[in-house]
Structure 1
Amino acid sequence: MLTRRACLAAAAATPLLTAAPAAAAKEVEAARDAMRRATRFMTDKAAANGGYVWSYLPDFSRRWGEMEAWPSMIWTQAPGTPEMGQIFLDAWRATGEAQYLNAAVAAGDALIKGQHPSGGWNYVIDFDGEASLRRWYETIGRNGWRLEEFQHYYGNATFDDHATVGCGRFLLRLALTTDLPRLRAAVDRTIAFVLDSQLPSGGWPQRWPRAGAFNNHGHPDYTGLITLNDEVMDENIDFLLLILQQWNRPDVEQPIRRAMACYRDLQQPAPTPGWALQYTPDFKPAWGRTYEPAAVSPHVTAIAVERMLDFYRLTGDRSFLARLDEALDWLARIEAPAAAHHEGRNHFRFVEPGTNRFMAVHRRGSNAQNGEYYVDYDMTGQRGEKHIDLARLRRHVEQVAALTPDEAVRHSALMGRGPSLLPDYVITRPQGGSDLNVTASRPGMTPVTLLVEGLNAEGYWPVELRTTSHAYRGDGPAEAPPGFVDRGQVGDAWDTSPFTETSGPMGISTGAYINNMARLIAHVRGARPS
């Protein structure tokens, strides 16, 4: 806990925003009271050593991160402990109340306790120790058919799903706010992890340090390969830019430049001039999980095109623009047939390098023990999975390419120019991460009065948990149960993968707390929410 003196000192260094005059004082105070009560519930009832998972049953008999968690566990994937820490800091900045800064420090300390000796983080932290975590992987993790990344205990740290960088960003902000030595040391360890794990190519692996190769359902271990999947390189570059600007570490500039050059050079040759999810050391597309074939990916390509524009504006180097027209023309050629478009999704996920044939992923069996994923070219019944607005992307390329190098770098953070990369308020848009209970609901903008009224007597906003999982019941049978029909998200009753139903129990949602708090904070600030 921070002392009152420390809170006052931190507050003096960070001026507060006042509520807009038009906001009725009574309504603002009601919002503040709801924020206090909701936060007290989360810190006093839901937290485990200051950290959080994604959702809980009201009696806390079951809880979930991306998979079912034990009471001793917290989650680093969004919307987990780092995002909770960020919303606490946002609430403190808006109100100056010590409750929120204390909660942020507690979340930071929880992450520090779970920081891997290398300086990064795993998806999950178990305060009961490594033996307990291994048991979880050997039971719940091992039986999550769809989530192969949890079927093997690596004992190292990951960049996947922003786990390490999300923790690092929050601890950086918290350290700059409080200047506590233990927080500054944790940030330095995170920076060392990002720098030490950078591959000779300039890219990054999904996991590090290398924990020994293993057989991934007949494929080699993919976790040490150059990884773009889930924005690994994007997030690491952005994190190092933040460190360069905010932490006075000029030594990160060259690693940033090496990473940008690697990202550019990962673009494949014609006739498939796009980018892939992961790569071998010689820059060829590689297998990831068994449902991620060695393919070129249209949606990763669209992201990469945007990043090349960013890199031009950071460096003024027009080599980042050189092959973008190739990529755009390729995206136009491999758009899914109109009959396969689905809810605006106009591209398939995987395209074979060198042939431009679409690749389809299927599965057979019923659980992690008897089931398998396989890949072929049979697109019967396949629907578009990703939306790409190619016209908008072309316009953006044309606008940025029209800038001279001097114009492009006018606000380059790499060159010490432009605004702060650390905003005053971090959580200004709905947060969902991989939490299907949050991302699947897509609620509208709830009026503040209804948010206040919706907070129950215990201090949380009840949320229908439509996405849960089967409880662990041992390893699944060696053959599919009679009459089993695969629904896609989950297999039989032994599969511990999360799945979504049309209805579910009411419960407590970390993501709902974060998003509702952001709405109330915006109201208290007198700001128009994003």
Structure 2
Amino acid sequence: MIARRTLLAASATLALTPGVALGQSVSKVEVTAAMKRATRFMVEKLAYRGGYVWSYLPDRSRIWGELEAYKTMVWVQPPGTATMGHLYLDAYHATGDEYYYQAAAQAAGALIAGQLPQGGWNYFIDFGGPESTKRWYETIGRNAWRMEEFQHHWGNATFDDGGTGEAIRFLIRIYVEKREKRFKPGLDKAIDFIFASQLENGGWPQRWPRVADGGLHGKPDYTGLITFNDGVIHDNIDVLLTYHQAIGDPRIPPAIRRGMDIYLSTQQPAPQAGWGLQHTMDLKPAGARSYEPKALVTHTTASNIEQLMTFYRLTGDDRYLAPVPAALDWLESVRLPADSQVGGRQFPTFVEIGTNRPLFVHRRGSNVVNGEYYADYDPAHTIGHYNARRGIDTAKLRREYEKLKAMPGKAAAKDSPLLKGRQPLKKYWMAEVEPGSDMNATKGGKDAKSLVGSLNAEGWWPTQLRAMSHPYSGPGSKTVARGDFRSTHVGDVTDTSPFDMENGPVGISTGTYIDHMITLIKALQT
């Protein structure tokens, strides 16, 4: 997934003075010209019905979101169509150029056109229609061995990987920009979806509404359970906070409170005072994908600790600090011995309930037909696409806890957007392209002058594509192919999962465009 961005604060649209140098021997005129040329290419040559995927070959013969996509598809999952919309609004604020607002409006139009009747979104929108979507799931999706969330078409909306949340935040932003009525019905439907999908216990599921045939690999459907994985619950709280700030709704404070309280009720009792990726309706940890066993999960626990401290800053309610010490104590109890730590990752991802023993996930076979994931206690030859260990700075978390504990609730919550209510949104949202599922985005390392100079004749920044995939060539064989696929990102040639390439082809990356535009926008602020 792509992580949530931090907001880049700024107070007003920049006044651009022609010919003023930016400290890198490049003028604001040159920067704005490069921004406009790159954006014209994205809008007029690359966009499909106002939307985008993640990566393209230069001739557009093959395109990708998290998986290979059809040319009738646009991606919702970040850094897709909504993320591009956020970037366009930032560029509009930086330059005052109406072209960027209209580009953002086109992205919003694509999202609204592909919005599901319930009000949310799937990972992608296929403007080719239901038969095209069905064909994609039966071919590319079904044969992506490690991409189990794409192997079945549930037909409902997902909160996974932040796509629905990203889309809603963008619709909030573009609506409040000029209060254009064309965006309001889609926004209203999306906000109603957030309220309707909240479970009675206060949590949110990965997908909604729940469907009867959602089980995979002989396991019960996990997508309707209370979901902490990929930040589902705290992302929805953030969406509601954004709407609360921008527009307001009396339903929001109680919904947020119920969402925050699910963190309290799902924490397991000491001495294993952690959380799982998903929890059942009786509040117990549950398994999810076949490489996510029923277990306590260290990085989820660390994230939940951070969220509980955020909730204290939002509310001043010390109930949200109370669970933190026991959770930190549990994390320290499962720290791996020094000789078992790898690359600065000191904690096992999964911990067995009851025994506190680390669990390690493996796979055998070569494709989705003959392959299988399983968990045991052996740390050797773990799967390569899901980290077996996690790096967590428990000392930093404990310091932050002690700081907040010493702070009266009223002081901690003095700047709370939940308590303040209506207020203007930040002008700039895109601080950086966060690491996530898109492995092709080039991030950072270039200044404004080099970016102006490296934009090619057609108007895009050449990017070596590091993530590719096998084209769909038919279902996988029941016979295991020769080779060792235990720790690879991809199996045999029938596996359509993306994989790393050292010398991939040069292509067009939406994420690279976003990253470089952020750099140029920041250059205009100097």
Common fold, TM-score beyond 0.5? yes
Q: Distance in 1 between matches of 2:83 and 2:76?
A: 9
Deviation at 1:272, TM superposition (A): 1.1
Deviations 1:261-289 (A, max 9, x none): 11222111122101110010011000100
Residue matched to 1:414: 418
Deviation at 1:399, TM superposition (A): 0.4
Q: Distance in 1 between matches of 2:214 and 2:15?
A: 55
Distance 1:417 1:406, change over 3 A: farther
Residue matched to 1:10: none
TM alignment of 1:143-158, pairs within 5 A: 143-158=143-158
Residue matched to 1:18: 15
> Are the equivalent residues in 2 in contact too, given 1:120–1:193 (CA < 8 A)?
yes
Deviations 1:4-34 (A, max 9, x none): xxxxxxxxxx952225866379621111111
Residue matched to 2:43: 43
> Are the equivalent residues in 2 in contact too, given 1:74–1:125 (CA < 8 A)?
yes
SS at match of 1:359: strand
Residue matched to 2:357: 357
Deviations 1:24-83 (A, max 9, x none): 796211111111110011111111100000000000000000000000000011111011
TM alignment of 1:99-248, pairs within 5 A: 99-248=99-248
Q: What letter is aligned with 2:433?
A: P
SS at match of 2:440: helix
- Percent identity of equivalent pairs: 49
Residue matched to 1:326: 326
Give every structure 1 segment of 4 or more consecutive aligned residues whose post-TM-superposition deviation is greater than 6 Å: none
Q: What letter is aligned with 2:71?
A: P
| Alignment of 1:395 onto 2:399 | yes
Farther off after superposition, 396-405 or 509-518: 396-405
Deviations 1:187-232 (A, max 9, x none): 1111100000000110000000112233311210100000000000
> Are the equivalent residues in 2 in contact too, given 1:145–1:367 (CA < 8 A)?
yes
> Are the equivalent residues in 2 in contact too, given 1:77–1:123 (CA < 8 A)?
yes
Distance 1:313 1:485, change over 3 A: closer
Farther off after superposition, 214-223 or 202-211: 214-223
Q: Distance in 2 between matches of 1:215 and 1:158?
A: 15
| Alignment of 1:367 onto 2:350 | no
Q: What letter is aligned with 1:453?
A: G
- Structure 1 spans left out of the alignment, 5+ residues: 1-13
Residue matched to 1:478: 478
Distance 1:489 1:221, change over 3 A: same
Deviation at 1:342, TM superposition (A): 2.1
Deviations 1:118-164 (A, max 9, x none): 00000010001111111100110000000000000011100000011
Deviations 1:146-183 (A, max 9, x none): 00000000111000000111000011101111212121
Deviation at 1:343, TM superposition (A): 2.1
Q: What letter is aligned with 1:99?
A: Y
Q: Distance in 1 between matches of 2:335 and 2:435?
A: 28
TM alignment of 1:218-367, pairs within 5 A: 218-367=218-367
Q: What letter is aligned with 1:234?
A: H
Q: What letter is aligned with 1:385?
A: R
Deviation at 1:385, TM superposition (A): 2.6
Q: Distance in 1 between matches of 2:127 and 2:214?
A: 27
Q: Distance in 2 between matches of 1:323 and 1:485?
A: 41
The count of residues paired between Structure 1 and Structure 2 equals: 509
Deviation at 1:105, TM superposition (A): 0.3
Q: Distance in 1 between matches of 2:388 and 2:362?
A: 15
> Are the equivalent residues in 2 in contact too, given 1:19–1:523 (CA < 8 A)?
no
Residue matched to 1:520: 520
> Are the equivalent residues in 2 in contact too, given 1:345–1:384 (CA < 8 A)?
no
Residue matched to 2:7: none
Distance 1:484 1:405, change over 3 A: closer
Residue matched to 2:390: 386
Distance 1:183 1:418, change over 3 A: closer
- Structure 2 spans left out of the alignment, 5+ residues: 1-10
Structure-2-length-normalised TM-score = 0.94
Deviation at 1:296, TM superposition (A): 0.8
> Are the equivalent residues in 1 in contact too, given 2:54–2:75 (CA < 8 A)?
yes
Deviation at 1:413, TM superposition (A): 1.7
Residue matched to 2:428: 425
> Are the equivalent residues in 2 in contact too, given 1:278–1:288 (CA < 8 A)?
yes
Distance 1:77 1:47, change over 3 A: same
> Are the equivalent residues in 1 in contact too, given 2:253–2:418 (CA < 8 A)?
yes
Distance 1:487 1:349, change over 3 A: closer
Deviation at 1:525, TM superposition (A): 2.6
Q: Distance in 2 between matches of 1:135 and 1:189?
A: 28
Q: What letter is aligned with 2:413?
A: V
Distance 1:156 1:517, change over 3 A: same
Farther off after superposition, 474-483 or 23-32: 23-32
Q: Distance in 2 between matches of 1:98 and 1:478?
A: 56
> Are the equivalent residues in 1 in contact too, given 2:16–2:95 (CA < 8 A)?
no
